[in-house]
Every structure is written in structure tokens, then in C-alpha cells.
Amino acid sequence: MINARPTFSEGDFRKSSRSDPDKDCVHVARRDGWVEMRDTKTVFGTPTDHRLAFNAEQFDSLLVKTRK
């Protein structure tokens, strides 16, 4: 059973370990079986702060496929 999707706060997001330390990057938040990804160039919480949401299983599968 998948839990209801949580509301992530700005503090929940962490920089991707594969991102360049001095460049714009992707932030990832993971909690309660859910994952959201966002672009750091976008101001958090604004109307243009679009995010990709996955359940944890989908996200883990995405990581496996993109690391090949």
C-alpha cells in the first residue's frame, strides 16, 4: 500500500550527489515512500516550481535505469 503523498518543505530537499557543486542542479526529497525532484533554478514555492513526483519504487527503478 502506498501512503498518501506528503507535502515537502524546502528543507526536505537535498542536492543530488551527481550534481556539479558550483552549478544549478536537481534537488531530491524522499519521505513516507514518496520522492519529489525539483530544479534549483526555480524559486521554491512559486507558481513555476514544478516538480516530478514518484513513489519510492518508481524512483529507485528510474535510478537503476539511468545509471546503466
Give Cα separations from 64 to 7, 31, 32, 57 (angstroms). 26, 19, 20, 11
Model pLDDT, residue 53: 96
pLDDT tens per residue across span 13-65: 998 777 777 777 889 999 999 999 999 889 999 999 999 999 999 999 999 99
Has residue 1 got a pLDDT over 70?
no
Query: CB neighbours (10 Å) of residue 10?
Result: 12
Query: Terminal CA-to-CA distance of the chain, rounded, Å?
Result: 29
What residue segments make up the domains of the chain, in order of their start?
13-66
Model pLDDT, residue 59: 94
